[in-house]
Structure 1
Amino acid sequence: MMKLTRAYVTLWLFTWFAELGFLQAVTLEVREGNATCIKTELTALLSITYNTSSNSTSVQVPLPNTTTVDAGSSSCGAVGSIPSLVATFGSGHTLGLSFSTNGSFYSVDTVMLQYNLSDSSIFPDANSSAVVTVVSSSVGIWAAINTTYRCASAISVVVGGPVVTFSDMRLEAYMPGNDLSPAETECAADQPSTPTTTTAHTPVTPAPTPPGTPERGTYSIDNSNGTVCLLAQMGLQLNFSYVSQSQNKTVQEIFNLTPNLTSSSGSCEVNRATLVLSQDGTTSLNLTFTLNATTNKYHLNGINMLANWSDMAAPFLASNTSLDYLRTTLGRSYMCNAEQTLAVVSSFSLNTFRLQVQPFGVTTNQFATAEECQMDQDQMLIPIIVGAALAGLVLIVLIAYLIGRKRSHAGYQTI
């Protein structure tokens, strides 16, 4: 609740700063050779709370027009790196955006803010001189490929504790040319809202009927030399809520991916592998795996889902790149026949069924020896325990029978 309140206060301060003319537009771009791959025009206000010797205080920091792009930290997304725009300003302050795409849409995966508390011009009387770095995922900034994301409205992103508020934003990543595309994807905040009417009795919408267990699909990704580098077999079910245009309210949807209607794509890198599943051009699921070369363990760390259905008041986007699911040892596959629920964000979770996946170390186009999930191990343990208990019971009955029979043959004793 406190984060939401701070976001609203920051929006009010943003408007106030804008009216007084303290906010200025900044143009930033990432180049590779003579080509521009990421470009943005925006205004931004940073709201940061820090501690002094006596209490805590908040400052509002407009992004200055002297902000520049750090070419060494920014990237167009070459092999082994993520597309990112890293801007620096003042005495050691940094604002960064990282991007991903599923081929049809691109999105801001994370917003990173780094601020230097030793800068007394911004943080007077700070009781620390530390450089603080905070990161936020599930940003909600996305657009179709080859279009410019445009949002005139102020939108706030809570980045750890601080709040970053963007406005008058035009942005494009994975650019086909050196300038922003004339075609635009408008943010939800700029789209006209549908008027609502209040009635005395609001009908209760029944919970959605589960569509049943999804069909198991087989998906694979080839590397540059044509050999399989990622294998997956699984049934997938999307469980999310969105604003229905026809019902004018938020509804819950449980949706199964159908393998024969789903296309797969992706990429394999040394420490990162991505599987993108798209159905009917309206629903896309992006699964990202990372490998820790030190521990020789890999896991599912990123899930990105986009749905753009005709009944949606606005396209649904959910993204989380700080997950820790399906953790397995390199050289083995991960298997879980039981149903798993992978929570992504509050409005979206992914249910998996009869899953086996291996994003690294695939040889001979086959899964390696599987490491089973805990739920499968528990399900195997239950019949073993029951069987052992029944065997013990039979043994007790047998012993009691033998003892009773021995006594019955003992005869009478002489007094």
Structure 2
Amino acid sequence: MKLLSAVILLNVLTLYNINADDGIDPENTNVTTVAPITSSSAKPSTTVSTTAKPTTAPSTTTSTTASPTPSPTPPPTTPSTTTPSSTTPSTTTSSPSTTSAAPVTTTVAPTPGPQQGTWDVANSTNSSCIVLKMAAEVVVDFNTTDNKIANSTIFVPLNATASGVCGNNQSMTLSFSFVNASQSNTIQFLFSETDKKFELDVINVSLILDSTNFPGAKDKQLNLIHKKVDFVTPVEMSYKCDKQQKLDLYPLNGNTSVGALKISKFQFQAYGDIINKHFADAKDCEPYETPDIVPIAVGCALMVLIIIVLVGYLIGRRRNQARGYLSMFTENKKEADYIPMKNLSCFQLFVGL
């Protein structure tokens, strides 16, 4: 009997495990229990009929919802209470900047003048009969193609070449060119000697009117002359003048000046036997003019001094005369002499003094 109960219990447990594995709800499973056979001594047979409830495999939908990541809760912050410091507003008073623009003074640089050069004419003894040192410029008027008169200035360059003649009638010619070397400008000096003195008689100037120095010139060449005795100097001496000398130039057939040869820092010697271009003792030109105020001041001072001396002399003389008359009256002590003496003009003058 116990054996039978154990078998039944074992079957029940087995069915339950099968249903659980197959997804069958054990609560809906019908179990039929066969009643025990009591009238047989043989081993009873047990038939187990199991009616399985039709089951439908449940549709399992797996929905995965990501749980929200909790944001970290910031620690409670203690509100900082900042008491603003009482600031005194800085009041900056900016004075208006007054910038006075200094007047711009433009200093015009002086135009450079000609440079001083030295030229000579050698004689047969390897010395020089003429030596000339000067800074020279030529200023001339010329006619233009539009029938106007223009003015131009050229400087005698240091590279001008000198040629000339020694003898009784000595001369020196300076030649120089600016544009075309085959066409030269020339300045000729003619000297003469009389009574142990030499002098400059004539200056001939010939200019090529090139387009550079004479723009728009109507003529191609200009010939001018200076004919006047200048710089008379004793023989065996030289002539020297630092201040500028202006020598007027005239057309060959005219008497109206159209230009000038200006020479400065000037020294020359002719009719000499000059070694190494060393000048003899120089005769200097007239000194610079003395300002008029100097002689006027000296004259006024002398006049005042003369007047003071004259007045002092007259006053002293009159006093001496008055003392003489007074001494005469004192010695005589006569009333008759005293009365006429009062009427004397010199005595009255003395009393008045």
Q: Name the TM-score class by shorter chain.
A: 0.3 to 0.5
Q: TM-score, normalized by length of structure 2?
A: 0.46
Q: Going by fraction, where is strand more abundant, 1 or 2?
A: 1
Q: Going by fraction, where is helix more abundant, 1 or 2?
A: 2
Rg larger for? 2
Q: TM-score, normalized by length of structure 1?
A: 0.40
